[in-house]
Amino acid sequence: MPLKPKQQAAPQTPAQGTNAMIAVDIREVKPPLPVGGNWLWIGLLVAGVLLAALAAFFWFRLRRRATQQPEIQIPPHIVARDRLRAALALIGQPGPFCVEVSQIIRVYLEQQFNLRAPERTTDEFLVELQDSSLLGLDQKRTLADFLMRCDLVKFARYEPGEPELRSLYDAAVRLVEETQWATSVPNAPVSGEQAPAETRSALEAVDRKS
């Protein structure tokens, strides 16, 4: 059987070649990615997480405040009276008893009247007390007598009996009761009672200033 001659493709013209390349290029172009849509969802997700974290923060904070007990401020005179009653357990030991009741009154005066008594000596405190109008004259005299009698026990090795120690205790309680509601106490009239000899010089200085 005779073979047919193979037909050869006709050569492409320059214009046809260019058109074919353009067609290939067009087919290879891909559609743009939806970038805007993705970022929108990411932004919404981040915003949702932040809002949830903020809501959780405020919820825990409010819950913590609701469960916390309010701090109760105990008035200075109540604290002083309680401590004085507890100090009676030391009345058989003059030294520790006088140290304790003296410190209780000093702390009370600082908290009640802002008189810086605990860190000062008795003499330094009495000098400050001379210029103060927070206590009446009788109260100043009682306080000076009380502090100096305590100092006799603390520093001069004086050994008072229980009746004298109870007298110190009563003076401390009376001072607290007379000043518990006061922030400013006018000077009282001069009393005719005489102070003990060991405190007379200090009391005379208080009288002159008052």
> pLDDT tens across 141-166, in order?
999 999 999 999 988 889 999 999 99
Q: Rounded mean pLDDT of 105-128?
A: 85
Full residue range of the structural domain in which residue 89 is found? 76-209
Give percent of the chain above pLDDT 70.
66
Q: Rounded mean pLDDT of 127-136?
A: 83
Question: Does the residue 101 lie in any domain?
Answer: yes
- Give the total number of structural domains in the chain: 1
Task: Please report which confidence band the pLDDT of residue 203 belongs to, taking 50, 70 and 90 as the band edges.
Answer: very low
Question: Does the residue 144 lie in any domain?
Answer: yes
Question: Does the residue 37 lie in any domain?
Answer: no
Indicate the pTM of the whole model.
0.55
CB burial string 98-109: b at 16+ within 10 A, e below? bbbbbebbbbbb
Question: Does the residue 98 lie in any domain?
Answer: yes
As a whole number of angstroms, the distance between CA 177 and CA 92 comes to 25
Structure confidence by residue, pLDDT tens digits, 23-35: 555 555 555 555 5
As a whole number of angstroms, the distance between CA 9 and CA 82 comes to 120
Q: What angle do CA 28, 33, 36 make, to 5 degrees?
A: 155
Task: Please report which confidence band the pLDDT of residue 91 belongs to, taking 50, 70 and 90 as the band edges.
Answer: very high
CA gyration radius, the chain: 47
Indicate the length of the chain as a whole number: 210
Task: Please report which confidence band the pLDDT of residue 12 belongs to, taking 50, 70 and 90 as the band edges.
Answer: low
Question: Does the residue 158 lie in any domain?
Answer: yes
- Whether 74 shows a pLDDT value over 80: the answer reads yes
Question: Does the residue 167 lie in any domain?
Answer: yes
- Whether 102 shows a pLDDT value over 90: the answer reads yes
Question: Does the residue 118 lie in any domain?
Answer: yes
> Is the distance from CB of 123 to CB of 148 less than 8 angstroms?
no
As a whole number of angstroms, the distance between CA 132 and CA 115 comes to 9
- The set of residues, in sequence order, having a beta carbon less than 8 Å from that of 135 and lying 6+ positions away, is 113, 129, 143, 179, 185
pLDDT for position 51: 84
Question: Does the residue 5 lie in any domain?
Answer: no
- Whether 117 shows a pLDDT value over 70: the answer reads yes
As a whole number of angstroms, the distance between CA 70 and CA 175 comes to 31
